[in-house]
């Protein structure tokens, strides 16, 4: 089976290309490299031991996407390509809508044209907003999006739901870590938005310190709680979703099923790497959800997938990757 991976040069897409290839799929990558580099494709190629067809194409460009489908006989699409910085989306909501929702519209149109009816979509737990019940399951209501980025995920899920394609909507919780080889990982361009790349940069001396946004929340140690899952576990979930693709549409939470606080992450990092993390407690950050973790039981039951790697392992892998940058 030949699988088109949009955003395949990115963080999660690149790891998924390795898992797909390990499972015997032929992989074709489309990425405009707006938030990644060709070095990540080279890293994937090194890990799988062969070249991959790579097209530097913007998915918003219908003609160029047509040409890829024309040339390659695509059987299924894994759709990662999107802009993902919540803060930037507040400043540039139109860009986020155009790129993420507009790009998905073009992709769906081209898939229809070429009669490709299998899609796995990168969604996010942001579609739940601040959920009332934790752990959150897939039947939780979509609350009003907390950012234009979150809105694009809700809009894309709706578009895909009405497309008639057989699709899995994968709602990721917090992917962290890197491939254990240290060959591919998260490539933060500019100031990192996520906790782990920032933490690694602080430990590497590239940032003065990590600021923990608030330690007076109603959680065990007062800091916010998230469900951190290893990116390699997440990559494997995509293969499982492709293999068990539903007829029609189905959403799956992808998380570990347990939460770790920000201070807990700092402790786990120090324990698993032996490095100390320079940090201080700062003010709460506006809009932060206090605590969220997944109920991943649907993915376990229907896809036969569950996260198997521990947070400490993911942090050690992230640190190994950071040292190569």
Which residues sit at the interface with ligand NAD, rule CB under 6 A?
7, 9-13, 31-36, 58-60, 80-84, 99, 103, 122, 124, 172, 174-175, 194
Q: How far is the CB of 174 from ligand NAD (least distance, A)?
A: 6
First to last CA, the chain: 34
Note if 55 is an active site residue: no
Q: How far is the CB of 276 from ligand NAD (least distance, A)?
A: 25
Closest CB to ligand NAD among residues 83, 249: 83
Q: How far is the CB of 7 from ligand NAD (least distance, A)?
A: 3
Neighbours of 204 (CB within 10 A): 13
Nearest to 36 by CA among 74, 100, 83: 83
Bridge partners of 229? 175
Closest CB to ligand NAD among residues 58, 222: 58
Closest CB to ligand NAD among residues 60, 210: 60
Q: Which residue's C-beta sits nearest to ligand NAD? A: 10
Retrieve residue 17's tokens.
């290309």
Retrieve residue 175's tokens.
């992917």
Q: How far is the CB of 28 from ligand NAD (least distance, A)?
A: 13
Is residue 77 within 8 Å of residue 119, measured between CB atoms? yes
**Between vectors from CA 230 to CA 222 and to CA 58, what angle results, nearest 5°?**
110
The single residue of 149, 172, 217, 252 carrying the catalytic annotation is 149
Determine phi and psi for 12, rounding to 5 degrees. Answer: -75, -40
Indicate the pairing of strand 225-226 with strand 260-261: antiparallel
CA distance 42 to 97: 30
Closest CB to ligand NAD among residues 125, 210: 125
Q: Which residues are part of the catalytic machinery?
A: 149
């Amino acid at each position: 089976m030949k699988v088109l991976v949009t955003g395949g040069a990115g963080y999660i897409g690149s790891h998924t290309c390795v898992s797909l290839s390990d499972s015997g799929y032929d992989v074709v990558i489309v990425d405009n490299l707006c938030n990644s580099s060709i070095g990540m494709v080279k890293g994937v190629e090194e890990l799988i031991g062969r070249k991959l067809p790579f097209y530097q194409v913007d998915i918003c460009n219908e003609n160029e996407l047509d040409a890829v489908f024309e040339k390659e006989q695509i059987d299924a699409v894994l759709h990662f390509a999107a802009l993902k910085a919540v803060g930037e989306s507040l400043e540039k909501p139109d860009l986020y809508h155009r790129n993420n929702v507009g790009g998905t519209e073009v992709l769906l149109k081209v898939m229809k044209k070429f009669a490709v009816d299998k899609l796995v979509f990168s969604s996010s737990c942001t579609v739940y907003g601040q959920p009332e019940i934790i752990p959150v399951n897939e039947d939780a209501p979509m609350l009003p999006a907390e950012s234009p980025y979150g809105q694009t995920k809700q809009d894309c899920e709706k578009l895909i739901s009405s497309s008639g394609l057989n699709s899995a909507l994968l709602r990721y919780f917090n992917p962290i870590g890197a491939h254990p080889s240290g060959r591919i990982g998260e490539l933060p361009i500019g100031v990192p938005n996520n906790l782990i790349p920032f933490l690694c940069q602080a430990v590497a001396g590239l940032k003065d310190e990590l600021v923990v946004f608030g330690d007076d929340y109603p959680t065990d140690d007062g800091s916010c709680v998230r469900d951190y899952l290893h990116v390699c576990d997440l990559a494997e979930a995509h293969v499982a979703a492709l293999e068990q693709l539903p007829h029609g549409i189905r959403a799956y939470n992808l998380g570990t099923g347990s939460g770790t606080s920000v201070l807990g992450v700092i402790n786990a990092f120090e324990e698993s790497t032996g490095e100390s993390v320079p940090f201080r407690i700062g003010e709460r950050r506006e809009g932060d959800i206090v605590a969220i973790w997944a109920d991943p039981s649907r993915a376990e039951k229907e896809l036969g997938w569950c996260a198997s790697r521990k947070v400490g392992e993911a942090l050690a892998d992230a640190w190994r990757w950071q040292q190569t940058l």
